[in-house]
Amino acid sequence: MDQKVLKRLVESISKSVNSFKKSEIECFIRIFHNVVGRGDVKLANVGLDRNTFRVILHSIFGMTDDVLMNRVFFAFDKDNDNYINVKEWVKGLSVFLRGTFEEKLKFCFEVYYFNGDGYISRERIYDMLKNSLHQQSPEEETDEGIRELVDIALKKMDYDNDGRISFADFEKAVKEDRLLLEVFGPCLPDAKVQWQQRIGLGEIFKDLKRNPC
């Protein structure tokens, strides 16, 4: 990788990412470059596709929920081109791994609302709870039971009683009870994940490059 290009990229990304040191940003860029593995094009023009990113979420962070992994992908993919470019990769990881409470709150809300209108609807709450419960136990939860959970969630989080959860609703509820941050399913790394173990992670990413999905 061209060192001048790498240095410029580190400087550019560091202006908008405060949670990583420049040396760490460089490490993440190198990992990205190793995974993408295309030396014939400029780094800014390549990206991680959804399948590769899902493998990363599963292999490194232990995520298993297909629906939420897809949503995390779209939360990283800010320009909605179905690829995560190197800047989106580093910026996304900065929130994903070392974000402030406010940043993680916004990230989780973005993962949970699906239709782009800025609200988590009753129908989406139902789908997410059904999917989350199925991930935890193979036994089927009854529709009636899930609807009761939806009613409980709305009663606790829908402060303006409009039948859906806005960001303001979500923010207020989570600030009152932080256990509600991932109430509709896990979308952040487990606390035990230690990203500082970069050598081990680097080896895993190299394996992904050698054995693409």
pTM: 0.82
The pLDDT of 49-74, averaged and rounded, is 90
Share of the chain above pLDDT 90, in %: 54
CATH 1.10.238.10 domain locations along the chain: 1-98+189-212, 101-188
> Alpha carbon of 198 to those of 16, 24, 27, 126, 204: distances in Å?
22, 9, 8, 38, 10
More confident residue, 198 or 182: 182
Specify the fold of 101-188.
Recoverin; domain 1 (1.10.238)
pLDDT in tens, 168-193: 999 999 999 999 999 998 899 875 55
Backbone angles phi, psi at 114, to 5 degrees: -105, -35
Read off the pLDDT of residues 147-173 as tens digits, 9 standing for 90 and up.
Answer: 999 999 999 999 999 999 999 999 999
What is the reported pLDDT for 140? Answer: 63
Residue tagged 């990788």 (tokens)? 1
Which band of pLDDT confidence, cut at 50, 70 and 90, is reported for residue 194? Answer: very low
Query: For the segment 94-144, what is each residue's pLDDT rounded down to a tens digit?
Result: 998 889 999 999 999 999 997 778 899 999 999 998 888 876 665 666 788
Q: What pLDDT does residue 211 have? A: 47
For domain 1-98+189-212, give the fold.
Recoverin; domain 1 (1.10.238)
Measured between alpha carbons, how far is 66 from 6 in angstroms, rounded to an integer? 33
